[in-house]
Amino acid sequence: MPTPPRKPFGRSLNDFGELLPAESQLRDAARLGETAIIGSERPTKRSPENEIRAAFLRFLALGGDENAPVHEQGVRGLGAWISGVFDVTACDIPGNFVVGNSHFAETPVLRDAHFHGSLNLIGSQLPGLSADRLITDGSIFFRNGFSSSGEVRLLGAHIAGNVTCNKGNFNNPNGYALNADGANIQGDVFLNERFQAQGEVRLLGAFIGGDLECSKGSFTNPDGDALSADRATIEGNINFDENFQAQGEVRLLGAHIGGDLACRKGSFTNPDGDALSADRATIEGNIYFDEGFQAQGAVRLIGAQIAGNLNCNGGSFSHAKGAAFVAERISVTGNFVFRSLRKPVTGINLNGAEVGTLVDDEPSWGSGLALDGFVYHRLGGNAPCDAATRIAWLNKQRDDHCSTPNSFKPQPWKQLIRTLRKTGHEEAARQVAIAYETHRREIGLVKGWGKQKLHQAFGWLADYGYRPLKLLKQMLQVWLACAVLYWIAAMYGVFAPSNPLIFNHPDYQHCSPGYTPENSKRDNLAKVLYCTEKQANSQENSLNSKACSCETSLSCQAENPAPKEKFGNWYLCPDLAGEYTGFSPLAYSLDLILPLVDLQQEHDWAPYVPTPDKLWFQELISLSRYHLTRLLVWFEILFGWVASLLLVAVVSGLTNRDKDD
């Protein structure tokens, strides 16, 4: 008979000689499709009763032979001590492989192996695992007490099911605890429920078809990265919640998340660096940094794209050496909720960020804000819309963004004004706009003493054009105040007629403050000359007819009538001709303040000012009631011109800031 072909060593039962008791038990169970229970617990030391040679385990995993056939259920054993190196490099494992609660003395090597079922090492202890480019048609189980004291490598692995590591313990403090860079996992990855990793967990460039579930997991690598998933694609959610703990940086740079990034009640600790980095990440759902979320170290979302909401309600952000929340150029389609934080957050950077709706409160914002380019389309969810609160928010910006002329950032102010106006808060928008102009002047953006004073006057008169009616109010106040002062001045004899026909008329000289009875003869002579001149004038009018009706010659004055008693006040003089314009303080003040209106007051009346001093400046510093009244008249005339021109400009829209975008 022909000699049967020889098999490679280790592929025949005869290659192993006499089997150990545990090996015989495993062989018999594999033939029947049952689980060989070698021990009730994971062994702590090797014994003749629990030892299985790694080569024999490999023999059965590959399907055994005709003398030791393996059931379609695969190899299943519990409580064994595996001695030697279990190496199935580039091998096909036809069924499930379950070695639970066992101790592997050497690092198993599964590189390029293809398991046509699941790989289950539940509760087992390994010095590490080398399984680069591993392929499984089922799931991988490193859970329920699984423990590794070295790196578990799944680089480039293809897993058709889940990777379940809940309650697993991965220890490699000086390196990678779990390394699945480039892995393709069609199901979920469970690193939760008391999962512990001492060392870095890596998922760089990995694909996960379901969720990355890390709730109640512990990731510890304080001198480096606790979890790295840069450029990873997670089709479902990432859950870092329910007492998740990370000591070291959690990295999601450039990651794509098809669902939510949930970090509520999660703790991220990296005090001297970044606690959570998700720069350029794309999140199709929401981000939850709420309900007890804690970050000691920076949370970075630079350039991240969030299709849902970014919720920080009740979270805690802190960084001892820098900005605690960095979200430059972030895009949030939904709401950005930043309220009810445990304490104010210092050093928030939102430069260039854009969100749909801002839902916040003023106490949650600490100092050192960077808001240049921050765009929000609405204020919602009871966010404060009053000017005082929002101005206080803007004043929390970094000093170099709001207090120096060369680096002042106007966009945060204009954005707030625009949003308040678009959402119907017109008065609050005006108040913020007014505060903005005042702030610009106070920090020196309005240069030059003269320009500053004009700018300040513009603010006093019309709130920089945002309140045109205030200018009318100021004009009304000046009109009435000056009218009162003119009335007081008139009561003290300051005002006199400006028409010489009245001022020099002999019959009214006793109305002049400078009149004395001793000069009555001179006045009578002047009266005769005056009347004679007017008699000769063919156009005699009513103003001189009374005075000249019986006094047309020198003989008429021969009787020398007694001089009149001094009255001394033109304003109240009863003998002043009724046809002449009477002095009205209200009308006089209105005539001055409205330059294009003529009420005959400014034309017919003027302050009675003594002869000027030869030193011109004495006229400007004199404190007599006459000089002060004249200065008041000058002021009101100038004020009237300035206010009138400004009012025309404001009404016509030349300085109507409400039309600004």
Higher-scoring residue by pLDDT: 328, 567: 328
Mean pLDDT of 519-526: 54
**pLDDT for the residue numbered 558:** 41
Token pair of 544, please?
């001189």
Token pair of 252, please?
């999601």
Higher-scoring residue by pLDDT: 514, 94: 94
Per-residue pLDDT at 661 exceeds 60? no
CA dist., res. 114 & res. 90, Å (int): 7
Mean pLDDT of 359-376: 95
**pLDDT for the residue numbered 544:** 47
- Condensed to tens digits (0 to 9), the pLDDT of residues 128-185 reads 999 999 999 999 999 999 999 999 999 999 999 999 999 999 999 989 999 999 999 9
Per-residue pLDDT at 520 exceeds 60? no
CB 199, CB 218: distance < 8 Å? no
**pLDDT for the residue numbered 316:** 95
| Residues whose CB falls within 8 Å of the CB of residue 73, separated by 6 or more in sequence, listed in order | 33, 34, 95, 96
Q: What is the pTM of this model?
A: 0.80
**pLDDT for the residue numbered 546:** 45
- Condensed to tens digits (0 to 9), the pLDDT of residues 525-565 reads 555 555 555 555 544 444 444 444 444 444 444 445 556 66
CA dist., res. 225 & res. 246, Å (int): 9
**pLDDT for the residue numbered 656:** 53
**pLDDT for the residue numbered 657:** 58
**pLDDT for the residue numbered 473:** 86
Residue at 476: amino acid letter:
L
Token pair of 127, please?
């010095």
Instruction: Reduce the DSSP state of residue 413 to 3 states and report it.
Output: helix
What is the chain's mean pLDDT, rounded?
Answer: 88
Q: 382-407: buried (b, 16+ CB within 10 Å) or exposed (e) per residue?
A: ebbbebeebbebbebbbeebbeeeee
| Residues whose CB falls within 8 Å of the CB of residue 497, separated by 6 or more in sequence, listed in order | 503, 570, 576, 580, 604, 605
| Residues whose CB falls within 8 Å of the CB of residue 281, separated by 6 or more in sequence, listed in order | 252, 253, 254, 255, 256, 257, 261, 301, 304, 305
What does the H/E/C string look like for 313-328?
CCCEEECCCCCCEECC
- Condensed to tens digits (0 to 9), the pLDDT of residues 60-93 reads 999 999 999 999 999 999 999 999 999 999 999 9
- Condensed to tens digits (0 to 9), the pLDDT of residues 107-126 reads 999 999 999 999 999 999 99
CB 625, CB 494: distance < 8 Å? yes
- Condensed to tens digits (0 to 9), the pLDDT of residues 225-251 reads 999 999 999 999 999 998 999 999 999
- Condensed to tens digits (0 to 9), the pLDDT of residues 349-358 reads 999 999 999 9
Higher-scoring residue by pLDDT: 653, 475: 475
- Condensed to tens digits (0 to 9), the pLDDT of residues 594-629 reads 888 888 888 888 887 766 666 666 666 667 788 888
Helix (H) or strand (E) holding 93: strand 92-93
Per-residue pLDDT at 344 exceeds 70? yes
Instruction: Give the torsion sign (CA, 132, 133, 137, 138).
Output: positive
Instruction: Give the torsion sign (CA, 53, 56, 62, 68).
Output: negative
Percent of the chain predicted with pLDDT > 90: 64
**pLDDT for the residue numbered 539:** 45
CA dist., res. 208 & res. 232, Å (int): 8
Higher-scoring residue by pLDDT: 38, 520: 38
CA dist., res. 325 & res. 70, Å (int): 58
**pLDDT for the residue numbered 535:** 54
